[in-house]
Amino acid sequence: MSRIEKRMAGMGLVLNPPKAPVANYLGTKRTGNLLFVSGRVSEKRGQVGTDVSLEEARLAARDTMLDLLSIIKADIGDLDDIISIIKLQGFVNADSSFNALPQVIDGASELLIALYGEAGRHARTATGAAELPYGATIQLDMVVEATD
Amino acid sequence: MSRIEKRMAGMGLVLNPPKAPVANYLGTKRTGNLLFVSGRVSEKRGQVGTDVSLEEARLAARDTMLDLLSIIKADIGDLDDIISIIKLQGFVNADSSFNALPQVIDGASELLIALYGEAGRHARTATGAAELPYGATIQLDMVVEATD
Amino acid sequence: MSRIEKRMAGMGLVLNPPKAPVANYLGTKRTGNLLFVSGRVSEKRGQVGTDVSLEEARLAARDTMLDLLSIIKADIGDLDDIISIIKLQGFVNADSSFNALPQVIDGASELLIALYGEAGRHARTATGAAELPYGATIQLDMVVEATD
């Protein structure tokens, strides 16, 4: 078992089977040592500030990151082969009265830091979206650096 | 005539002259073998789910991708010099009741795969936008890998 | 004093102290010669087209870019070490009747060109956002190339 998956298990988290893309694209695409990971939406549906609480949205962000990691594992074979998390983009389906988008996306960022330590710290942008595919609460994509 | 443009012609598609940026930015910018392509909006105006149908929006996504390819050709000289399509970002001006954003952006992705085969498959994020420049239906940007 | 900061001073602009990230992420993250800069929102609050004028929004875009540059300086030591501005992503908190998003983000792009000349010209995407963190008017992130 890989070092990263051991840490996950120690946190009581499990990696679900990788989800297939919902349309005509790849889960990840590589160029050199950079891996671009496609956007994934949360299983959680609804808008933060109306249907969904801050704490539910944070959990949805964490669970969506687990889905991204499962997809990366399927593509590169081992989560230990991620050297560094570079950039995370998070979209939050939020009511215009809800502004704490950074706190929502922290649910994903804090998982990366717990798993990868300093190498898991990353650049990030958290933005509101008018509408996400399937009415989802969260959408995440990212760029990571992998071993040769 | 380049191999890629021959395929386009075989599909009954023509490359329009490259459109100039609408403001103070470049059509593409290169770093190493990566080419970052600026966001372009569709000629098609209006919101999917209210003014614009799914099929019209798919066509608008395909036509916007043709515009991106025309801009890339102007900057690097030959579409055959694209080695790999890395990441596509698609924004859709959509009513909050319309969730099939991935199917809309497939209009662009399927063109890339038809032209470039396996190398045309890419990572992707499809997101709703509250508002796009000039009230356009679609906005696309991308990262591609080019030859030296 | 660095060459770039001298130019800033000549334009009557000052670099404020770098702002700390508002949540659990880094201001910038590096991979090879690429520096990914986290999204920063403007101090300016409110929606363009209703509360905020085009000219105010352009200034907010310029000032947000100054904040990004201050964060980059804190991380890499000297703004002269930026070789090239690659990609700028701008989100504008805009009313659906306001379409001149490119003119707003020009406030940031024109500063980069004034400071870095041809190397400051960049690929760009300007998009509307339903909601930005803390109700801000502008959000910018970018990718730049730095010296070794």
Name which residue leads in pLDDT, A23 or A84. Answer: A84
Q: Which residue has the tokens 């703004």?
A: C79
DSSP-assigned states of every residue in B53-78: -HHHHHHHHHHHHHHHHHHHHHHHS-
* β-strands B82-93, B138-146 pairing: antiparallel
* φ/ψ of residue A74, rounded to 5: -60, -35
Interchain CB distance below 8 Å, B101 and A135: no
By Cβ distance, the residue of B98, B100, B128 closest to A129 is B128
Q: Is C56 touching B (CB cutoff 8 A)?
A: no
Q: Is A84 touching C (CB cutoff 8 A)?
A: yes
**HEC profile of B38-57:** EEEECCCECCECCCECHHHH
Q: What is the model's pLDDT at position C48?
A: 95
Q: Is A103 touching C (CB cutoff 8 A)?
A: yes
DSSP-assigned states of every residue in chain A: --HHHHHHHHTT---PPPPPPSSSS-SEEEETTEEEEEEEE-S-BS-BTTTB-HHHHHHHHHHHHHHHHHHHHHHHS-GGGEEEEEEEEEEEEB-TT---HHHHHHHHHHHHHHHHGGGG--EEEEEEES--GGGBSEEEEEEEEE--
Establish whether this prediction's ipTM goes over 0.90: yes
Q: Which residue has the tokens 């339903």?
A: C130
Give the rounded percent of residues in chain A with a pLDDT score beyond 90: 85
Secondary structure of residue B80 in the 3-state scheme? helix
Neighbours of chain A (3+ CB pairs under 8 A): B, C
Q: What is the model's pLDDT at position B97?
A: 82
* Mutation for testing the A interface, residue in B65, B87, B104, B148 having most A CBs under 10 Å: B87
Residues in B touching C110 (Cβ below 8 Å): 24
- Give how far Cα C118 sits from Cα of B11, B26, C63, C84, Å: 38, 10, 21, 9
Q: Is B95 touching C (CB cutoff 8 A)?
A: no
Q: What is the model's pLDDT at position A6?
A: 96
- Say how many residues make up chain B: 148
Q: Is the per-residue pLDDT at C10 higher than 90?
A: yes
Q: Is the per-residue pLDDT at A130 higher than 80?
A: no
Q: If you compute the radius of gyration of chain B from its CA atoms, what whole number of angstroms results?
A: 15
* Mutation for testing the C interface, residue in A87, A142, A148 having most C CBs under 10 Å: A87
Residue A104 tokens read as 């929502």
Residues C109-129, mean pLDDT to the nearest whole number: 96
Tens-digit pLDDT profile for residues B62-107: 999 999 999 999 999 999 999 999 999 999 998 878 888 999 999 9
Q: Is A54 touching C (CB cutoff 8 A)?
A: no
pTM score of the predicted model: 0.96
| The dihedral formed by the CA atoms of A17, A22, A28 and A31, expressed in degrees to the nearest 10 | 170
Residues in B touching C137 (Cβ below 8 Å): none
Domains defined for chain A, CATH in brackets: 3-10+29-146 (3.30.1330.40)
E strand or H helix at B91: strand B82-93
Q: What is the model's pLDDT at position A98?
A: 86
* Residue contacts between A and C (CB atoms, under 8 Å): 85
Q: What is the model's pLDDT at position B117?
A: 97
Q: Is C9 touching B (CB cutoff 8 A)?
A: no
> Roughly how many angstroms between the first and final C-alpha of chain C, as a whole number?
20
Q: Cβ neighbours of residue B35 under 8 Å, at least 6 residues apart? A: B28, B29, B72, B75, B76, B82, B143, B144, B145, B146
Contact A73, A15 (CB under 8 A): yes
Q: What is the model's pLDDT at position C58?
A: 98
Give the rounded percent of residues in chain B with a pLDDT score beyond 90: 85
Residues in A touching C25 (Cβ below 8 Å): 88, 109, 121-124
Residue B74 tokens read as 């102007």
Q: Is C147 touching B (CB cutoff 8 A)?
A: no
Q: Is the per-residue pLDDT at B133 higher than 90?
A: no
Q: How far apart are CA B4 and CA B10, in angstroms?
A: 10
Provide the 10 A C-beta neighbour count for residue C96: 15
Q: Is the per-residue pLDDT at C130 higher than 80?
A: no
* Mutation for testing the C interface, residue in A52, A101, A115, A147 having most C CBs under 10 Å: A101
Lowest mean pLDDT among A93-107, B34-48, C45-59: A93-107
